Amino acid sequence: MKNFEYFNLATFEIFHECCSSFPSIAHIQPSNIVSGISKFYDAGEIDEEAMDDLVHDTVSWLIREGYLVDHGLDSNHLNVSISERGLRAVNKKPSSLDSNSFKEIFSSSIKTTSLNIVSNAVVELFK
């Protein structure tokens, strides 16, 4: 069930981008999200074209569930911002993680965060 793992990594990267640009609109380039995800895997282990689709699907899901606001698509960017629901979620203090808030987790680089922390953070975020 790698799809859940990929979803968690994509969500982490998307929220990282949104937190970095808050309160402005984040201009998410799917290829940058895919690059972040691919750092967890050996070269050639993931299908980058399929990952690009996963990024689009993850953003769509986060919009549908009310965590992001859609500001449209321009050339290679998905333009989104954190909704009020998303902001409440990232300001929560997760009970199972050693952090003050999700915002601190999502503000860190995915390169310095373990797969286990990413997965736990995303699971806690949607509680």
- Provide the angle, in degrees to the nearest 10, between the axes of the packed helices 2-21 and 115-125: 80
Residue 117: pLDDT over 70: no
Using one digit for the tens of pLDDT, what is the confidence trace for 27-37? 999 999 998 88
d(CA 125, CA 127): 6
d(CA 19, CA 122): 15
| Higher pLDDT, residue 96 or 11 | 11
Using one digit for the tens of pLDDT, what is the confidence trace for 97-111? 455 566 666 666 555
* DSSP per residue, 41-92: S-TTSS-HHHHHHHHHHHHHHHHHTTSEEEEEEETTEEEEEE-HHHHHHHHS
Using one digit for the tens of pLDDT, what is the confidence trace for 46-104? 888 888 999 999 999 999 999 999 998 887 899 999 998 888 887 765 555 455 566 66
**Confidence (pLDDT) at 59:** 95
**Confidence (pLDDT) at 65:** 95
Contact 118, 12 (CB under 8 A): yes
Contact 44, 107 (CB under 8 A): no
